[in-house]
């Protein structure tokens, strides 16, 4: 199939048959590297092992830390300021 494609090009007619075969072999060699399967990971637990130990899960309710954020009347600013102010030195 590759040779049929190369026959249509004018430049391919000038290349000797041995060079075309070498080029086709090189192309096959370079593309064959893309077909290999990846290695299995070596670190950590194997996810395919049903006997692998995993950490226990606990139930945490979704609304467990909910605090209402409804608007409230503002407190008097002077009392709030006195409450957070540093203590006076004697």
DSSP category for residue 47: T
Q: How many domains does the chain have?
A: 1
Q: What percent of the chain has pLDDT over 90?
A: 4
Q: Which residues contact 3 (CB under 8 A, 6 or more apart)?
A: 20, 24
pLDDT for the residue numbered 47: 76
Assess contact for 19 and 13: CB atoms under 8 A: no
Structural domain range at position 16 = 1-31
Please check whether residue 3 lies inside any domain of the structure: yes
Please check whether residue 25 lies inside any domain of the structure: yes
Which of 42, 41, 44 has the alpha carbon at shortest distance from 55? Answer: 44
What span, in angstroms and rounded, lies between the C-alpha atoms of 34 and 59? 45
**pTM: predicted TM-score of the whole model, two decimal places:** 0.27
- Residue numbers in the chain where pLDDT is lower than 50: none
pLDDT for the residue numbered 88: 83
pLDDT for the residue numbered 56: 86
Please check whether residue 36 lies inside any domain of the structure: no
Please check whether residue 58 lies inside any domain of the structure: no
């Amino acid at each position: 199939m590759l040779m049929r494609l190369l026959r249509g090009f004018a430049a391919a007619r000038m290349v000797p048959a041995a060079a075309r075969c070498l080029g086709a072999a090189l192309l096959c060699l370079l593309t064959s590297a893309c077909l290999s399967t990846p290695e299995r990971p070596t670190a950590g637990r194997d996810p395919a092992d049903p006997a692998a130990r995993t950490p226990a899960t606990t139930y945490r309710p979704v609304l467990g830390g909910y605090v209402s954020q409804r608007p409230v009347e503002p407190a008097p600013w002077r009392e709030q300021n006195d409450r957070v102010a540093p203590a006076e030195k004697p």
